[in-house]
């Protein structure tokens, strides 16, 4: 599922790489719509920076995947093909494939999933999740929006429905993708601002490059045990950690 922000670039990427080995028709593209940005608790709309007559918008959230699967007819095609199970995942967490094999008995059964979507008209509950600048809760760190989440599908079930979930340790199946550098700096690390560079026609933020061998650290706890003091790493720097017993004390790297 894509939006206007990612549709063309995603399809171009797959086409340029021959679908990474998949045959034509094996990948289906669904595009969701956008909703308006909200600037404060009064739900004031946000204008585009360089156009007073356009409203800033953002995709409605990954919860739209349910309605798009239904309205596109893809679920009926899967049933006709004899498929029995549905798995949803988010592409920002690459480690999830380590957990999928342990969850094979918990994935949605296709026929039951379609039946429930027919009951609820594939509507997923919406919410607003503002990030406030301080405890006064009067100003947002950034604009917010109405959104919905893919994993909120069970909320459409009746109160008598039996719903369970499985929680796995973060070291196994979690990749932090939305850490805030400003908040990280408060705990003793100075992280330089990124620069914008272009790769395959896509602009990305480039931060310092930091990599280490698995034998140095496998978990968050391992990293905390081996990094101490105030550290500073410039944007242009690259840090490669090799070896097991390597401790970092008050590192300044430029």
Q: Give the pLDDT means over successive 10-residue stretches in the chain (254 positions).
A: 92 93 91 93 90 92 92 93 87 80 76 87 87 88 91 87 82 74 69 87 90 91 89 93 94 94
- 146/188 same-domain check: no
In the numeric block, the tokens 């978990």 are attached to 219
Q: Which residues are CB-neighbours of 115 under 8 A, at least 6 positions away?
A: none
> Does residue 205 share a domain with residue 149?
no
- In this structure, the number of other CB atoms found within 10 A of the CB of residue 5 comes to 12
Residue 105 and residue 71 share a domain: yes
Q: Which of 169, 188, 206 is the last residue of a domain?
A: 169
Number of domains in the chain: 2
* 80 and 133 belong to one structural domain: yes
Same domain, yes or no: 163 and 62: yes
CB atoms within 10 A of CB 148: 21
User: Do 206 and 156 share a structural domain?
Assistant: no
**pTM for the whole structure:** 0.67
- Asked whether residue 27 is assigned to any structural domain, the reply reads no
User: Is the domain of 44 the same as that of 145?
Assistant: yes
61, 135: one domain: yes
Does 10 map to a domain?
no
| Boundary of a domain, candidates 118, 137, 169 | 169
Specify the DSSP element, H or E, that contains 251: none
Q: Are residues 51 and 101 in the same domain?
A: yes
Are 106 and 155 in a shared domain? Answer: yes
Contact 104, 170 (CB under 8 A): no
Does 12 fall in a domain?
no
Q: What is the pLDDT of residue 116?
A: 86
φ, ψ at 206 (rounded to 5°): -110, 115
Check if the beta carbon of residue 190 is closer than 8 Å to that of residue 207.
no
Would you state the pLDDT for residue 106?
66
Question: Angle 110-120/64-72 helices, nearest 10 degrees?
Answer: 100
Q: 130 and 254, same structural domain?
A: no
In a domain, 11, yes or no: no
Q: Is residue 222 part of a domain?
A: yes
Tokens of 81: 């093909």
Q: Are 74 and 144 members of one domain?
A: yes
184 vs 84: CA distance, rounded Å? 44
Is 70 contained in some domain?
yes
Pick from 205, 206, 204: which is nearest to 9 by CA? Answer: 204
- In-domain check, residue 7: no
Kindly state whether residue 227 falls inside one of the protein's structural domains: yes
Domain range holding 203? 179-254
Structural domain ending residue among the three candidates 151, 169, 187: 169
């Amino acid at each position: 599922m894509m939006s206007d922000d990612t549709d063309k670039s995603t399809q171009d990427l797959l086409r340029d790489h021959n679908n990474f080995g998949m045959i034509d028709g094996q990948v289906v593209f669904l595009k969701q719509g956008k909703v308006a940005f909200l600037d404060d608790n009064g739900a004031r709309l946000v204008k585009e920076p360089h156009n007073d007559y356009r409203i800033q918008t953002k995709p409605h959230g990954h919860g739209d995947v349910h309605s798009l699967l239904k309205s596109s007819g893809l679920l009926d095609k899967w049933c006709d093909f004899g498929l029995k199970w549905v798995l949803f995942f988010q592409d920002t967490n690459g480690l999830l494939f380590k957990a999928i094999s342990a969850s094979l008995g918990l994935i949605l059964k296709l026929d039951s999933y379609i039946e429930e979507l027919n009951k609820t008209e594939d509507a997923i509950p919406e919410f607003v999740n503002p990030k406030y600048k301080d405890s006064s809760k009067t100003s947002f760190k950034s604009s917010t929006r109405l959104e919905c989440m893919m994993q909120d599908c069970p909320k459409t079930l009746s109160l008598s429905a039996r719903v369970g979930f499985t929680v796995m340790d973060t070291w196994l199946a979690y990749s932090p993708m939305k850490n805030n550098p400003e908040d990280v700096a408060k705990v003793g690390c100075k992280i330089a601002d990124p620069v914008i560079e272009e790769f395959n026609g896509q602009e990305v933020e480039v931060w310092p490059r930091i990599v280490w061998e698995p034998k140095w650290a496998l978990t968050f706890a391992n990293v905390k045990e081996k990094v101490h003091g105030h550290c500073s790493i410039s944007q242009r720097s690259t840090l490669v950690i090799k070896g097991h017993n390597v401790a970092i004390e008050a590192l300044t790297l430029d």
